[in-house]
Amino acid sequence: MSDTKMISAEELAACIDHTLLKAQATRADLEKLCAEAVQYGFASIAINPAQVAFCLKQLEGSGVRLSACVGFPLGQNIKDLKFLEAMNAIEEGANEIDYVINLTELKAKNLRYIEDEMNSIVLLCRVNHVLSKVIFENCYLSDEEKGELCRIALAVRPDFIKTSTGFGTGGATLEDVRLMKDIVGDKIKIKAAGGIRDLKTALAMLDCGAERLGSSVGVAIIEELKGPVS
């Protein structure tokens, strides 16, 4: 998005994945998440896979999409388990999958492993008409490693590459979004997530090339854009 100066609350909400990934989230918390997503028109809710069926019922008929986060937050499940976790989430009704790469294999320069895993999950999503998002966890990566992941993604073509889980030592940065955008251009969309907690940061991420934002405080961001009620 090149110019956010005139963005409306509705347009901004449509860029946000309204997120609740805490282990202690209650059913009441999830119901609130879904109700807010419907009320504000967020792009999706982002949740752990075990809650897909429950949240799908809350979103029924709303048009809000449902993102299931796979291999979350460490990315250390074996490839077959990530694939099965993604497949189960899709069967339960998820129409977007965010999955975390295996950082250990990346650090070992086992790029074939990274590509094979990405290809299997992205292909699963593609044949089921589900959006795929690949989470890099940039706070643990060198710029060289980020570039390697971007180039693998260009070969595999997920729908999105994503900066962070929000559970690492750092979240999205403008520098990382620019780096990713410089490499993938318009061929793959970018999701910025982690630490996006105010309007200024959200708009800056979009101006740098992100097209989707992950945030647990999407309501506050939209209310900040709307401004005080007169």
- Candidates 146, 162, 181, 189; catalytic one: 162
Report d(CA 11, CA 226) in Å as an integer. Answer: 12
Beta bridge partners of 70: 99
Is it true that the peptide bond before 49 is cis, omega within 30 degrees of 0? no
- Catalytic, 198? Answer no
- Catalytic, 191? Answer yes
For 151, counting Cβ atoms within 10 Å of its Cβ (0-12 exposed, 13-18 middle, 19+ buried), the class is: middle
Longest dimension (CA), the chain: 57
Contacts of 76 (CB under 8 A, 6+ apart): 102, 103, 104
- Catalytic, 98? Answer yes
- Candidates 133, 146, 181, 191; catalytic one: 191
Report d(CA 140, CA 206) in Å as an integer. Answer: 23
- Candidates 17, 82, 98, 189; catalytic one: 98
Active site residues: 98, 162, 191
